[in-house]
Every structure is written in C-alpha cells, then in structure tokens.
Amino acid sequence: MTSRLSLALVFVASMSAGAFAQGPPPPLGPPPPPPPANPQTPEKISLGGLLFWDEQLSSTKTMACATCHIPEKGGSDPRSVFAAPNNINPGPDGLFGTPDDIHGSPGVVRSLADGRFQSSASFGLRTQVTGRKSPSAINAAYAPLLFWDGRASGTFTDPVTGQVVLQGGAALESQSVGPILDTTEMGHVGRTWGDVSGRVATSRPLALATNLPASWTAFINGRDYPAIFQQVFGTPDITAARIAMAIASYERTLFSNQAPIDAFFGGNQGALTQLELQGQGVFTNPANGCAVCHAGNLFTNQTFRYIGVRPQFEDTGRMAVTGNNADMGRMRVPSLRNVELRGPYFHNGSAQTIEDVIAFYNRGGDFNGPNKDPLIRPLGLTPQQQTALAAFLKRPLTDPRVASATGPFQHPTLYAGSARQPQLFGAPTLGSGFFAPQMVALSPALIGNDRFTVGVERGLGGGFSGLVLDVQSSPGTPFGEATAYLGFSPATQFRRVGPLNGVGAGNGWRSVVLQIPNDPALVGTPLFGQWFVRDPGSGGRFSATSAFQITHF
C-alpha cells in the first residue's frame, strides 16, 4: 500500500510540473520598472515608507496606509478577520446581521474639518468600515490596474491640477491618492490636498509609531518632512503628486519572490512536500480551472471575473469603471502569493478560511449571473483533493520574509492597537430607555495634538452634556446618582458642552475637541475623562459613560 502511494505521488509530482502549458514558469522576478518620470531612489523609497506608515496622514491621526496593509497579514488587514470587533459594513441593504454584510477595514469616525465628530447613519460615532475587504499591497507593483474594480489606472493624474504626471505604469501612484481624502478611510468631510500637505508639513515623521527600524531612524535624523522632501525632490514643497510618487516608490519594494514555490520553479524538486505536490496537481489540472485565472509565477492573470460570491447588483465592480454591462459584478483576480496570511477572502471578506474558499469553488459558487465565469461550476473534488489543494496554497506560496516582517517588509509598530491608545474603564450609568451612553475616545495623546476629539453617543438626545477631566481617577464615586471614575482633585475641569444632538433615548451624540499643549513636561502624565448627561430617565440627575485614561507622549 505504501509503495503504491509513493508511486502515485511521484506521478502527481511529474504531472503537476507538466500541467503548465509551457512547463513551470520561472521564479518570480522584480516588478516592472517604474515610470521614467518617477525613478526609484533610496531617499524617495525611504520617504515613501515614512508616509505609508505615518498615521498623521489621516485627519484623525489614527489611520495610515499601512493600517490596512500589514505585511504579516499578507499585505492586507488583520482587523478584517471574523473574530475581530467592529469590522462589519452593513452592505447595500444598510442592515447589520444580514447576508450581504461585508468584513471590511475599520477606518475613521466621520468627522468635520475642525475635528468634531459627525454621526454616520450606519455607524454613529463608531469607526466607519469600508465596503470592500482590503487587497494586498504586496506585489501590487506588478498590476496594471489596482483596486478590486481596477479604477486606479496606469496613467497618474495630479488630483490637484488635473494634469497627467505619469503616462503609464503608474497604477500605484493612482491608487495611493484615493484613501487619503476618503471620508471612511482616512479623511474628514471636505478634506483637500491642501489640508493634507499642511498636516504633513507640521508633523514630526512617525511621531505616533514606535519600534522604528534603525535605518528609518537614521534616515529621519531629527528632520521634519519639509527637509526630507527637500532632499528627495529638490524643494521642500509637499504636494499630492510628490506624496503619491514617494509612497509608490516604497510600495515597489514590497515584492515577494522567496516562497518555496520559487525554489520549486527554480528546479528544487524537494521544495514541496508530497501532499503539496498533490495539491499542485489539483491546482494545475485544466479540468479544475484554478491556474487559468491564477496563472503564472504571480498566480494571477490580472483579469476581472464575476464568480458568484454575491448577487451582481450588490456591488457592480468593474462595471462602475467601464460602464460596460458585461463587467457587472466583476472583480480583479488577486494573486495567490501569501494567500494563507490574508484571510478572510473575496472582495467582501465572506470566506473565513482557505478551506472555505475551496469549498465555494467546488460547489460552483453561490450566485449566478449572465456573465458568470464559465470556469465556476461544480468541480467534484474529493475531500483528499481539497485537503491537498489547501496545503499547496499555504506554505508553498508564502514568503517567510512576509510572514515574519523581515527584509523589505520590516516596519514600525503603529499607534493603532497599541497601549498608547485611550483606555476605557468603569461601567456606564444607564439613562432613559436603559441605554448606556458610550465614550468615544480614539485620538492620540501626542503633545501638541490640537485635535484630541472626545465623543459621546447613545445618550438622551437633547440632554445637556458635560465632559469632566481630571489628573486623578477613582474606583467609582457617586455623582448625581451616577458613578464617576474621577478623583475630583483640585485640577478637575468641568466642561459644559451643551445639549446632545439627536432626539430621544439612545439617539444623542456630541463631541468636543481638546488641545494638548506642546509641553514636554506633560510626557508620561495621565489624564482621565468622563461624560455626564442630564437625564431624568436615569433614576437620578445624570447618566454617564465609562471613563477614558490617556498617558501623554
């Protein structure tokens, strides 16, 4: 029995190599050259890395380009996984908990130019969530078009002047300018590139990040962004086009070509296990069609397909760009390199695991449409074939440098998700309708931050609100029949904010923008805060939120 199995696996190995039309492709080489007008230089690549990882590019100072594109997650967003909180977009029906929900990327709380929050119809004062799952930024340099719908083309047009800056090969530049002004991803309502340039000019590079690679610290060398732009571009001017060209230059270094499959393509037949070789045979078998779309050494043919993940009308995909009905619901075919790291899968994040994806294809998709790809049909794969295929898609296609964030994928630690974020403690005091007012505190306690925004939601609409700040906390003190978690020290500040917006129990919301002095003496000192809302339905005079704690840095 063992000898028969061994012979069968040897046969599979030989057949899998020969299943490619012209034999196996070569190992993956570097990406195409950059546009001639945006040549790669070490200094520009370094500047692009700073900008890509700097959360100060967002209006709220809580989101960087990198937040949704973490290398260890295959260049995608670790916050989109099923177990993570607050990553659901309600989808086209606008209702949470229905089949069209999307596992997207949390972005920013909807906000105005002055930093005040503005309640969103779907998310209130919670972070908004994108309507698609973040594609991978790794190996994006190979793609002629970017975004799921391909709206970022190879022609880069300056978003300020409207002039064409780069004639071709500039999908990365085109893509990079999209999220920065988007009011869900990084921007406030009405944000302009003048706002962005001004923010960058006055920000200390990567002031919010920690654990910077030594080479990045050496490159910054105490300089501000205008000085670095001067070095890279010849003048200190910070423009949309320069930001785009620098970020794209950095992204062109994020290519992954040292996976076991590259060793296999290079002639090392021992690079794959027997089970992985069996899986490659399933993958490359023309009857299954996997390698038609996920072709070559990049494992994508860069086309757009409708495969029946959801009904076409829910997300028109490529058709929104081309206007062609034949493109209804079509999405860009992603590369499968590092696919093991970047679940959930599909444009809506609906498949939790690689095994779920394989089951989807094995049953022929879930929905039909006039332009559904004919390759999507029941495949009849056996459980063993499915197991082998999953094995092939995992380790063989994963570059260990990506998984460990080493080499070109090394990076600093972001503010988001760190202990530097405001920490909430204590229990809210219920108000009318038994609603618990919610504290909203996300801004960084960076000295000099003139837009430290604190919000409250789910209070009594119209109820008068106040924010109390203190340098001391308490385990719980009665305050107008509410429970306060403040020490009421001599330094206590009572800020009368005004009536909550909204009408009725649980519908009230408001925010206030605080200015943190640019005083180094504040570093390491704490501040505590808590909202109180006058609410006769609370059983006392006030309902109250939990409290926040920050430590200035």
Over residues 135-156, the mean pLDDT reads 99
pLDDT score recorded for residue 162: 98
Q: Is the pLDDT of residue 178 over 60?
A: yes
Residue 534's SS3 state is strand
Residue 241 class from Cβ within 10 Å (0-12 exposed, 13-18 middle, 19+ buried)?
buried
C-alpha 431/C-alpha 374 separation (Å) is 57
CATH code 2.60.40.1940 for 419-552: yes
Fold agreement (42-72+128-252, 260-398): yes
Q: Are 86 and 285 in contact (CB under 8 A)?
A: no
Per domain, the residue ranges of the chain are: 42-72+128-252, 260-398, 419-552
pLDDT score recorded for residue 18: 40
Model pLDDT for residues 132-144, shown as the tens digit of each residue: 999 999 999 999 9
The DSSP bridge partners found for residue 440 are: 455
Model pLDDT for residues 49-92, shown as the tens digit of each residue: 999 999 999 999 999 999 999 999 999 999 999 999 999 999 99
- In CATH terms, the fold of domain 260-398 is Cytochrome Bc1 Complex; Chain D, domain 2 (1.10.760)
- In CATH terms, the fold of domain 42-72+128-252 is Cytochrome Bc1 Complex; Chain D, domain 2 (1.10.760)
**What pTM does this model have?**
0.94
What is the residue-averaged pLDDT of the chain? Answer: 96
pLDDT band at 182 (very low <50, low <70, confident <90, very high): very high
Q: Is the pLDDT of residue 7 over 60?
A: no
Model pLDDT for residues 462-501, shown as the tens digit of each residue: 999 999 999 999 999 999 889 999 999 999 999 999 999 9
pLDDT score recorded for residue 513: 99
Alpha-carbon separation of residue 420 from 344, 367, 423 (angstroms):
28, 45, 8
In this structure, what token pair is assigned to residue 232?
């890279």
324: left (phi over 0), alpha (psi -120 to 50) or beta: beta
C-alpha 132/C-alpha 135 separation (Å) is 9
pLDDT score recorded for residue 538: 76
